[in-house]
């Protein structure tokens, strides 16, 4: 990637749904507990986040109080909804005003489709931690998801002819208290990166050279997953390729990447507190060898092997060679 690509990301949803909390946990190293101190966002807070050196996310955190939202939909409509790459819309699963929440969402999605028809839409149904005990099967989440999809389809039917350009809508249950937040945001980032197919094929090659089962690239600051070897990031285990299945598809935890993101960020924070520098990680367990190393200035790479012959030094040697190839 040579030139800088700028992508506008709108973060919207009713006041208190958790938008600024998410942004702060992912991009500013807040812990979930720290977010209790956050005040309501006034109007729109813009920030720029650089990824991989040449991808800049322009994040527009739009305060969700009703008077601000009314203004986005009238006076500020052309400014807010033009040239959007992604809308991340956050719902609060505990909200008792679902009908009203849905009406606001419909108005916002309509404005988005009028001004940026091909923008991708991510629906994050947040604060799932508050409901998981009383609704372990997540029935309420499924109902909310179905309602949101109906709204999207209704808008699509109204704008016949533009259907083909319509960006995809994806829905994720999230909580700032667990790794689900990383899964949702990694999914957003993954689709914004140019040449993702090429990166995936390079990673698959590196994985095979290392006799490994997986090679994963994380962004160095946020630790969001950027790409992995083999099958696409959100594939079900049944679609894993041969090498991934060597690890035993049935034992690979589908949440493994997000868990690693969360653990490493926690570990790095501890290192900062104790004045140590976090440089990476390597370990050889009974059945697996793991190396986490800086790959480029903006990324870390994790390689996992279940072949007992593989030593960490082999992986590190191959990583250094891959770095030379990239520089």
- The 51-70 contact track toward ligand GTP, x by CB under 6 A, reads ------------xxx-----
126, containing H or E segment: strand 120-126
Residue 187 token pair: 């999914």
Paired residues of 48 in beta bridges:
58
Residue from 20, 186, 231, 299 that binds ligand GTP (CB under 6 A)? Answer: 20
Q: Which is nearer to ligand GTP, 16 or 237 (CB)?
A: 16
Report the C-alpha gap between 172 and 122 in whole angstroms: 8
To ligand GTP, the closest distance from the beta carbon of 92 in angstroms equals: 8
Minimum distance from CB of 232 to ligand GTP (Å)? Answer: 27
Of 142-150, 169-177, 191-199, 221-229, the window that binds ligand GTP (rule: CB under 6 A) is 169-177
- Encoding tokens for residue 261? 């993101």
Given its phi and psi angles, is residue 16 left (phi above 0), alpha (psi -120 to 50 degrees) or beta? left
Nearer to ligand GTP, 26 or 301 (CB): 26
Residue 93 CB, nearest approach to ligand GTP (Å):
9
Query: Is residue 135 close enough to count as binding ligand GTP by CB under 6 A?
Result: no
Decide whether 33 or 325 has the Cβ nearer to ligand GTP. Answer: 33
d(CA 141, CA 77): 30
Determine which residue in the list 35, 110, 187, 323 makes contact with ligand GTP, applying CB under 6 A: 35
Q: Which tokens hold the place of 211?
A: 């006799």
Instruction: Give the number of residues in contact with ligand GTP, rule: CB under 6 A.
Output: 23
**Look-up of token digits 């508050």:** 130
Name the minimum Å distance from CB 152 to ligand GTP: 21
Please state, in angstroms and as integers, the Cα–Cα distance from residue 178 to each residue in 21, 200, 258, following that order.
13, 27, 9
Rounded CA-CA distance 20/24 in Å is 6
Triad 163, 171, 232: Cα angle to 5°: 85
The answer to whether residue 191 forms part of the interface with ligand GTP (CB under 6 A) is no
Binding site for ligand GTP (CB under 6 A): 13, 15-21, 35-36, 38, 40-41, 63-65, 126-127, 129-130, 175-177
């Amino acid at each position: 990637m040579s030139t800088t690509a700028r992508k506008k990301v709108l973060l919207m949803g009713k006041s208190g749904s958790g938008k600024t909390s998410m942004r702060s946990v992912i991009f500013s190293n807040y812990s979930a507990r720290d977010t209790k101190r956050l005040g309501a966002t006034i109007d729109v807070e813009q920030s720029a986040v650089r990824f991989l050196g040449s991808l800049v996310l322009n994040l527009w955190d739009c305060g969700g109080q009703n008077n601000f939202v009314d203004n986005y939909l009238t006076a500020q409509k052309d400014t807010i909804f033009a040239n959007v790459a992604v809308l991340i819309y956050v719902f609060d699963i505990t909200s008792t005003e679902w009908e009203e929440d849905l009406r606001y969402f419909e108005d916002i999605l309509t404005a988005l489709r009028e001004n940026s028809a091909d923008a991708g839409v991510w629906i994050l149904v947040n604060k799932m931690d508050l409901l998981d005990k009383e609704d372990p099967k997540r029935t309420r989440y499924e109902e909310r998801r179905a309602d949101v999809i109906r709204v999207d389809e209704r808008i699509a039917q109204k704008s016949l002819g533009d259907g083909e350009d319509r960006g995809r809508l994806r829905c994720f249950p999230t909580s700032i208290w667990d790794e689900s937040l990383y899964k949702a945001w990694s999914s957003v980032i993954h689709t914004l990166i140019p040449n993702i197919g090429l990166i995936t094929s390079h990673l698959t090659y590196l994985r095979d050279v290392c006799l490994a089962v997986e090679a994963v690239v994380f962004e160095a600051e946020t630790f969001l997953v950027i790409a992995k070897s083999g099958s696409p990031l959100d594939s079900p285990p049944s679609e894993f390729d041969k090498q991934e299945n060597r690890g035993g598809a049935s034992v690979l935890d589908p949440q493994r990447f997000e868990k690693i993101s969360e653990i490493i960020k926690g570990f790095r924070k501890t290192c900062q507190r104790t004045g140590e520098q976090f440089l990476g990680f390597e370990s050889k367990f009974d059945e697996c060898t793991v190396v986490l190393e800086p790959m480029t200035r903006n990324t870390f790479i994790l390689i996992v092997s279940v072949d007992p012959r593989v030593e960490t030094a082999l992986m590190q040697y191959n990583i250094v060679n891959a770095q030379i190839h990239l520089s």
